[in-house]
Amino acid sequence: MELQAKLLRVLQEKEFERVGGTKAIALDIRLIAATNKKLSQAVDRGEFRKDLYYRLNVVTVAMPALRYRPEDILQLAGHFLAKVSRKCKTQMKNISDEAQACLLRYDWPGNVRELENAIERAIVLGAGETILPEDLPETVLDSSSGTTHESAKYLSSVKDLKRQMIVGALQQARGSYTEAAKTLGIHPNSLLRLMRNFNVKTAMEAGQSSSPKSKK
């Protein structure tokens, strides 16, 4: 509440003083405020200053939740694909038609941030050049009304096949994940992420975890 009073004073007087300063600095700004709460209810509960609320509430734009604007989902997914690819310095991927259908069927309770996290997960864990349904979070797949029992069995089989390929490549490389990554044609870091995702350990790690402790 103390900070709200300071903000209200700045908006009304259109000036402020730096910390430790003595001279008022004039402001010429336009302020955009965003919230995911009902401020009118917060005012009634005494959690938000009424005078600040009316000072901010000049022009109001309500942004519907992502589930009410499915036409934005794929466009946002493409934006996050490019953003995360630059961030991770990886090649830009495509989203398969099946994965797009899963994205469109999900109701996104976490809105845009949840969509961004789902795309980042798919880029990090996906081994191919195309994002497939099994690369998406399980919540997206489980909550998708179009995910039938048969398709769930298919996704489970694909995951099992990926795990078998990783285990086979590690065995062929005698536990060296770098050599196994070359065999699979993926970056070693990507293989490590997949190994963690599928709970696959190298022969050395398995031996260390299963070896009994020596007694003195």
Q: Domain of 78: which CATH number?
A: 1.10.8.60
Residues linked to residue 130 through DSSP beta bridges, in sequence order: 94
* pLDDT, tens digit (0-9, with 9 covering 90-100), for 94-147: 999 989 999 999 999 999 999 999 999 898 888 778 898 888 888 888 765 444
In a domain, 123, yes or no: yes
Average pLDDT (189-208) is 67
Q: Are residues 101 and 48 in the same domain?
A: no
Angstrom distance (rounded) from CA 138 to CA 154: 14
pLDDT of residue 82: 93
Give me the domain span that covers residue 164.
Answer: 159-209
In a domain, 215, yes or no: no
Average pLDDT (81-94) is 86
Angstrom distance (rounded) from CA 21 to CA 10: 15
The model's pTM is 0.56
98 φ, ψ (degrees, to nearest 5): -65, -40
Average pLDDT (33-58) is 92
pLDDT of residue 25: 93
